[in-house]
Amino acid sequence: MNEPVPHAVPDDNRRQVLYWRLLARLFDPEEQPGLESVSLAVVEDIGLPPALLDPQTAVDSIVQRHPELEAEFDGLMTPEAEAADRDGGTATEAEAEADTGSGGRGARDRAAEVRRAALVSKVLLNVFSTGSGAVSAGQLSRWQGDAGWLERALGCRPGELRSGRGPASDGGLLPALGPELGAIEADLVRRMHLREVLADPALAARLTPSMSLIEQLLRDKNNLSGVALANAKALIRRFVDEVAEVLRTQVEKATVGELDRSVPPKRVFRNLDLDRTIWKNLTNYSPEEERLFVDRLYYRHTVRRTTPQRLVVVVDQSGSMVDSMVNCTILASIFAGLPKVDVHLIAYDTRAIDLTPWVHEPFEVLLRTKLGGGNDGPVAMAMARPKIAEPKNTALVWISDFYEFDRSQPLFEGIEEVHRSGVRFIPVGSVTSSGRQEVNPWFRERFKALGTPVISGHIGKLVHELKTFLT
């Protein structure tokens, strides 16, 4: 006997049409008339605006005209949203596939799946189909807005993935997606006539500062003047202030220094150690009266013992280290603002420059950097070593990809000598959440053998290492 052929579910066909159209538009800019007309019929039939199918219409514009859709875009692509398309979520996969969507607990809400497919297709197409040719400030601004909606759809805040401040510990899609979005944005910035845009205050005002844009501004700053240079500086300062706010919060989350028990605790209510007070007075409990009589109150120690520390931060300013240069410059300024922390900042390529006088002003530091060219680590080491007055009280943070060409052995020998003197050496290959920064394998293996493995990835790792040194 022949097995019965499963009957087709109309909503399944509709969902497939929308996704086939998405794939077709991503891989071929030419419209497929058949898919376009069928997709339009699907979108109109389920009560969504036809503008969802127009790649030139920003998600912001859709939401502005149809504010009820804003809540649907938020968290649209999270596992919770997918689970919400099932009634109760208790059916097995086999039961769900067999169900025609007519009802029952655990039944798939296929109509909701079609609606979600239309919204997901809109966000993905706007973000990942960027065409070719020159890009205007308006187009970049629109893409940044659409990328923000994609991040919201994934359960993140706008800009979180692109800036590397997203959930880097997650082993799934999100950490890998952030670098891809950053690469798309960098390509759009390269295709934009940036100098002309900066020369027009109205166009410059439409730009949203990002790492890709800041990199281009830093590379081109010496070719700018007048209004264009002023607008470039304003964008760099905005970005520095935004990143500094985030990094300052990360630094301030942890306390610095061990508790100083030689200082009596302040006898105020907020310092009351309730658990210890109850435990120490348990012998005074009266079963008859069901009361605990307290003879003595115990308070927590809050004063912390701090020791002056010195941080020497050496940053490779060659072209491949732009994001590290920006992040570490800002981070150095934040640590320089902590009490009893002496921070020195050195940047280098084939020459080294001492930026310590401006360490409290990351904006000024970035304007003094010269991105690009080669690198000569021993030159930077020669400038850093005189700053090490007390080795056991010093951390040397070295941010580089450690591609030194013919200078690898001399640099490693200098680092090894400094490390053995008692300096806390912290090699850093990357301070973004992408982890894409390539580190010279020759150095990586030797640092590992030295007991100082390279830190690569989320800037939070560097923050943790520095706070560990300070405690």
DSSP per-residue string spanning 323-335 = HHHHHHHHHHHHH
Residues 68 and 102 in one domain: yes
Residue 126: pLDDT band (50, 70, 90) is very high
Q: What total of structural domains would you count in the chain?
A: 3
> Is 282 within a domain?
yes
Longest dimension (CA), the chain: 89
DSSP string, 203-250: HHTT----HHHHHHHHHHGGG--HHHHHHHHHHHHHHHHHHHHHHHHH
Asked if the model's pLDDT at residue 436 lies above 80, the reply is no
The C-alpha torsion from 347 through 256 and 462 to 428, rounded to 10°, is: 50
Residues 130 and 21 in one domain: yes
Domain containing 283 equals 258-292
From 374-388, 398-412, 415-429, the region with the lowest mean pLDDT: 398-412
Distance of CA 146 to the CA centre of its chain: 17
What are the CA-CA distances from residue 315 to residues 236, 321, 446 (Å)?
19, 8, 20
Residues 173 and 263 in one domain: no
> Is 134 within a domain?
yes
- pLDDT recorded at residue 221: 81
Residues 196 and 107 in one domain: yes
- pLDDT recorded at residue 316: 85
Strand partners, 435: none
CB atoms within 10 A of CB 266: 12
Query: What's 400's DSSP letter?
Result: S
> Is 252 within a domain?
no
Asked if the model's pLDDT at residue 345 lies above 60, the reply is yes
The H or E element containing residue 352 is strand 352-354
Which whole number is the average pLDDT over 369-394? 86
- pLDDT recorded at residue 446: 92
Which whole number is the average pLDDT over 193-215? 84
Closest residue by Cα to residue 464 from 246, 256, 167: 256
Residues 262 and 144 in one domain: no
Residue 102: pLDDT band (50, 70, 90) is very low
Which whole number is the average pLDDT over 200-215? 83
Q: Are 190 and 459 in contact (CB under 8 A)?
A: no
> Is 3 within a domain?
no
Last residue of a domain, one of 232, 267, 292: 292
- pLDDT recorded at residue 359: 86
Compute and round to an integer the Cα radius of gyration of the chain.
Answer: 29
Asked if the model's pLDDT at residue 395 lies above 60, the reply is yes
From 21-25, 73-77, 168-172, 345-349, the region with the lowest mean pLDDT: 168-172
> Is 2 within a domain?
no
Residues 94 and 207 in one domain: yes
Residues 28 and 157 in one domain: yes
Which whole number is the average pLDDT over 390-413? 86
> Is 71 within a domain?
yes
Which whole number is the average pLDDT over 392-397? 89
> Is 338 within a domain?
yes
Residues 375 and 353 in one domain: yes
- pLDDT recorded at residue 434: 45
Residues 271 and 375 in one domain: no
> Is 301 within a domain?
no
> Whole-angstrom Cα distance, residue 51 to residue 35?
16
The pair of structure tokens assigned to 206 is 């439409």
Residues 278 and 337 in one domain: no
Which whole number is the average pLDDT over 363-377? 78
Residues 91 and 217 in one domain: yes
Mean of the per-residue pLDDT values for the chain? 79
Asked if the model's pLDDT at residue 101 lies above 90, the reply is no
Asked if the model's pLDDT at residue 269 lies above 80, the reply is no
In this structure, what CATH number is given to the domain that contains residue 412? 3.40.50.410
- pLDDT recorded at residue 169: 41
Asked if the model's pLDDT at residue 337 lies above 60, the reply is yes
Residues 237 and 312 in one domain: no
